[in-house]
Structure 1
Amino acid sequence: MEKYQVALLMNIRKQLQEWFEKSQPVQYQDVKRFLHSLAGTSQTIGLEYLGKVSTELLDHISEHPHSTWHTKELQSLLIDIIKICYKDEIVEVEQLMVNDKPSQTSASILLIDDDLSILIYLKEQFEQQGWHVFVASNKEKAVAAFYELKPDCLILDIYMQEEDGFELLSFFNEQARQRFIPTIMISADNRKETRIKAFQMGADDFLAKPLDMEECVVKIGRHLERRKLFTEYLLVDELTGAYNRKYLTEVYKQQQTNYVRNKETYCIAMIDLDYFKKINDTYGHLMGDEVLQRFVKHVKSHIRTTDQLFRYGGEEFVLCLPRTSAEEAQTTLNRILNSFRTEAFHWLIRACYGTSINLYK
């Protein structure tokens, strides 16, 4: 029975996506036929609640017939069916931060909108491009996701029921600018004065609803490419691939702010490769560079995506560990130290890695 339920839900999603993608009015008879079929099939294969919702909607539209439904109206009408079919797609952002962090190589997008149907649709479209998409429907969740997940792109709807997109844009603007995070506003209000206001307040782009998905994907892709270049040139140490000292200052300030505001503990670990000069003197600087590069690669493979490694200078590094106690930090550092000693060039360097941990309270 389960395979039939899965097949039905997939067919529903396919039909919804077709309607929403075209952004064209849908005929009354098409919606009625869709709901009639859904009401009978879903109850037959054990999806009683879906059948009940479909039956109620069928009765409703029979009493209040439309000639056509536009995309927004149709999304509103079918919202309960959308929630059922996409219940595994839209997860609370707090759970995503714990269970679904993006990999080091994939771009991430934070999408803020209180329209569940458009969130679901855009999330699915963007994930087809290989991007990680995190969603938030209010300011509280959006702020938490922004600071915790450090997205590569921020997309906000201007008009939401309980939030003002312009206020959110203003709130995020300084942090987004410092981190070179492109901010894109979306809205059905495509008036010139609305677009100008968005740009004046710091938006990097404006996309009008209904969205042309082909154009939308290309534009977002370009913003993500530029962001990656900015990050590589300005925030990343060219030799090792760790973040540079300049970016450390900003991250430290942000961690302090989080602690003051939310009492979130964090650790800053200083890591020094002892006797590193002997490697350069004995085997040359190219070998020394290789040791540094392999050390950074090794550390990155043993930390969380929310942790950040910085090259402080020479063979000195700083590891920032958000939401981490001193005991947890010591465990992490010991694990990195012990495993790095087994690297292939252990015959070349038997270095001791001195670590010091300061927990700022």
Structure 2
Amino acid sequence: MDLSKYRNLLIKKIMEQVAEWCESDAEIMISNSEVHRFLHSIKGTSGTLELEGIHRISETLLEQLSSFHKKEWKGQELREFLSELMELTYSYGHFEEVEMKKQQSRNGDVPLIQIIDDDISILILLKDFLEKKGWMVITNSTSNKAVSQYFDLQPDCVVIDVNLPNKNGFEIIEDLQIHSNKHFVPIVMISVFNDRNTRIKAFKMGADDFIQKPIDLEEFAVRIERHLLRKQIYDQSVLLDELTNLYNRRYLKVVYDRSMEEWKRNNQQFSIAILDIDYFKKINDRYGHVTGDLVLSTFALFLAENTRSNDLVFRYGGEEFIILFQNTDYHKAYEIVSRLLADFTTKCFEANGEVFFVTFSAGITGICSKETTMDSAINAADQALYTAKNLGRSRVECFNQSLMEQKKLFISVIDDDPIIRSMLKSRLQEAEFNHYVSNIHTFENGPSFFQSGILEYPGEHFLILDGVMPIMDGIEVLQKVKQTERNNVSVIMLTGRNSEDDIAKALELGADDYMTKPFHMNDLQERIMRLIQRKK
């Protein structure tokens, strides 16, 4: 007997009932007996229809329900209680068979691989295969977006197709080598052509490897893994930042621990300052990444020449720098950094026939306790930096407890499926986003999202956007968002398994990433944080 029709009816029933209970944030109370009847019905029917996963979860929920002794449920409480049932039902709605085992959480520091190819089918294939290995993959189908994302996200390995429209793979390597001459990032070229001249040209241009299409996926993964290992060994062995010749963040830990030991022995207080170049992304966008690198190296040299001999300067990452002031309280550190700011703002830069000036914002904290860890000290200075930026940039702020307000992260889920909205909201509300206070909002369509005015709220914005919706589909929403030219908005597009055209359009329009339905919540949370942190 074909049970698929009856299974689909049951899945529809579960999704509709859970959505009705959990979609609204209003104080609607649902009786415990009503929840019990629902789960009891689901348990019996799912068992009969051989939906073992749903049967087991509903059975477990019934057992838990009997121990709670609740009379009524609020919508939010019920959403949390039924979250696992919601996720599995959603998965059954997209796949005929789903494994019950949960995917393990990935390490927050997994390597980032960038793949550049105009063949969307190849992008999908390689992305899916490599992410099953536990790595994070971003994809690009257009050269301009690819180069920009390379500089913004700083991947650990880049895979580039030779034959690309507008700008071929060799030209992209040429653009990247301006940066890669200062940073070791393995580059893998792929191509349908495997002739001697093409291979030689690829290696002469700076490629570390060359792989012919069609690609043997297992061999491809092994070769990528070897390049990532080389990158890891190189990064761990180097204490100087290649571009600026300053100490890097790995050496910062050594110096901090040494300073803390000195403080414990001699009560010699020290301070930390984080300096962040203002509007650095706009400098890159307007004048190019070569000019951006020039600004970074000039700023680094300025700091090295204008700080005291016993103070140490580090490049912390991107356009962020740290100064560790030995035997200095935060008042004195404030005076020094304020002087640095006044002097640096007078330096003149020139590019594309234009003259421009650069400023920076800074946050300072004093190390006042022998129990202060490096992470907590940097977090305190970062909070002060965040305040300086909120107050208009080009200024210096010192940390105090009143600055403990965390940065705001607005996550907007735009999807016409109520079960998806409810499920994502529930899980994202439970998630922890380091140094951010998250605000989760859901919208059933594009017009309601734009009418809310949420994009005007100050803070970082992340859109989880369904590709197919009535009234205004995901591509139209993405187009309108990108027209705002806001630099604080990242977008992940949700697509179906066979939606190459949608993926191609989304990447072309500037989506930062895409995920195919169904997906794991751990993956989504990891992806959000990686994209935000890499863009910091």
**1 or 2, which has the higher helix percentage?**
1
Structure 1 length-normalised TM: 0.47
TM-score (norm 2): 0.33
